Structures are given as structure tokens and as C-alpha cells.
Amino acid sequence: MIRALLFILSFNFSLCAHAQTDVKKMNLLSNVKSLKETSFRAQKTGNEIHKGIRERAFEGANGSDVQICFNKQQYKTIETHFSSNGSVFDYLYFFYNDSMKIIKWYCYAPDSSFKWGYHYDYNNLNFESSSISLNNNKKTDLRKVYTYNSKGLLKTETTYFENGDSIIQFTEYDELQRTIQKRSSTGQYEKFNYEHNKKVWTIFNRMNDTLCQTIYEYDQNGNVLKLCSRDITLRSANHIKKDFCVINTYDKYENETSEQWIDSKIPQPKETFEYMYDEKGNWIQKIHL
């Protein structure tokens, strides 16, 4: 028996003629009213793979089992996450203005108690978000203010903390509107260099020491074929340096078919993904081996 996971994806399609953001970000084709993704342990007998017990890839809001509802403009309205036993883990609710810009989203526990949320305000080229969360029944607030340049690209991001402190990050772009530098008021900064199908992302501390560097290689569709990251400077006495690479392959629908982690210290097995598609080109079954 092969230890594997099998994912089942079901769709409810709408007749809306508009193709919009969230559905497109999820690499879904056609227009979708809702989808539900459920994971099971896959059992292999001979050359056939059978659906076993229900099992999430891992627990938490970022796990595999999820149900998402979309509005007519193809933006998410409700996102429900499930535990391995099928019970609800939490709910996310999304709200938009008339221009379909998100204005708030909230997270609730299964008993409908509030967990955390975000609020967004728009003012010309400015954008403000504030988050509210409950930690051990104590309310915490975090506010961020964003400004944009004349081309609509992020210019500054300022984070305000409850104790009165704040951190501002500045972003610069090249003539192709690609990010080339991010600089923080803490002194840490990041640089981005581009060459053909490669992007090099380097992080420096306030002393101009290189902390780490990550190199991305892309295919013609912008999918990451290879990612290699190197720790260069020890950040503290307890910091453990870790270098790794990730190599990916994709099918004609741009869905990932394999992922190979190459760790500098621990060997990692290659993971592969097999898909079954509907007539519209959306995957409805995915086997993770």
C-alpha cells in the first residue's frame, strides 16, 4: 500500500459571463458558484487507487478540506474549513464595496464566536487595513496604512502597533514595474535582481550583511520551476543555518505535477500529483503520492 492522499474537488458552475479575481487566482476555468475540496487517504491495490478514510493533509485553516462560495463577480463570500472528522474548523466571511474591493473579512469559530477580522478603507491612492483578534479572550489591534504611486503600485506600508510603535516599509520598482528594492525603517532591506527567467531575492540587515538569498527560476507562464534558498549570515547564536531547493513540474493546465525538496541536511522524498479533469479543464480529483 502506498501512503498517499486523494483530494476530491466538486464544483457548482454559474452562467455569469464575467471572469474575476478569486476564481482566476485559483486557476479555475469557467465561472464557479462554489467548490468543495475534500481529502482522503489513498490506498493502492495493484494499479488501482481507492479512496480510503477521510484525512486532511494537515490540520488548521490552511489544510486541504475547504468549501468556498463565490458571488456573481467570482469573488469569495464564504470560506469554510473542515477538520479530518468532517466537523467545521472555522468560517471566513468576505465583504466588498460596489467596486468589488474588499472592505472587511471576519473569521468565526464553529460556535459563531469571533476570532479575528480585517477592515479596509480606501482614499484615492491610500489604503488602510486594521486587524482585530482575540487571544485568550484579550482584544488586540493592528493597523496598517498603504500608499500607492501613480501607476497603482504599492509605495509604502506602515504598521502601527498597540504600544505606539510603528514600522514603515518603502518599495521601489524598475521601468517594467517589477519590485527591485524594499527598505524598512528598522534598517533591514531587500533587493531583487532579474535575468531572463530568473529572479534573485536578497535580504540584508542594517549593517549591510547578507542574511539570506533566494533564487527563483520560472517557465514561460510564470510558474516557479526551481527555488533555491541559502542562509548566509548567522542571525543569532541559536540560529540554525538551513539551505534548500525546491524543483517543480506542471501540466498543460499549469497545475503542479511534482515537487522535489532538496534539503542540505535531511533527504526529502519526491512528491507527485496526478489529476482527473472535468470537461472545462478544472481538476476534480487529485492524488498526492
More confident: 223 or 16: 223
Binned at pLDDT 50, 70 and 90, residue 16 comes out as very low
C-alpha cell at 221: 507562464
- Mean pLDDT value across residues 242-250: 91
Query: Residue 146 pLDDT > 60, yes or no?
Result: yes
Highest mean pLDDT among 16-20, 40-44, 73-77: 73-77
- Mean pLDDT value across residues 6-34: 67
Binned at pLDDT 50, 70 and 90, residue 193 comes out as very high
C-alpha cell at 114: 469571533
Q: Output the CA–CA distances (angstroms, integers) from residue 45 to 52, 233, 272, in the order listed.
A: 12, 49, 18
**Amino acid letter at 43?**
Q
Highest mean pLDDT among 1-15, 58-72, 82-96, 172-186: 172-186
Query: Residue 31 pLDDT > 60, yes or no?
Result: yes
Binned at pLDDT 50, 70 and 90, residue 17 comes out as very low
Q: What is the pTM of this model?
A: 0.74
C-alpha cell at 276: 482527473
Which backbone phi and psi does 22 adopt, to 5 degrees?
-60, -45
Closest CA to 288 of 266, 253, 244, 255: 255
Place of cell 527598505: 183
Percentage above 90 pLDDT, the chain: 39
Highest mean pLDDT among 35-44, 175-184, 234-243: 175-184
Cα–chain center distance at 213: 21
pLDDT value at residue 3: 43
Q: What whole-number distance in Å separates Cα of residue 274 and Cα of residue 248? A: 14
pLDDT value at residue 1: 35
Looking at every residue in the chain, the average pLDDT score rounds to 83
More confident: 191 or 209: 191
C-alpha cell at 247: 524543483
Q: What whole-number distance in Å separates Cα of residue 83 and Cα of residue 42? A: 18
Task: Please list, in sequence order, all residues whose beta carbon lies within 8 angstroms of the beta carbon of residue 155, skipping any fewer than 6 positions away.
Answer: 125, 146, 147, 148, 149, 170, 171
- Mean pLDDT value across residues 67-83: 93
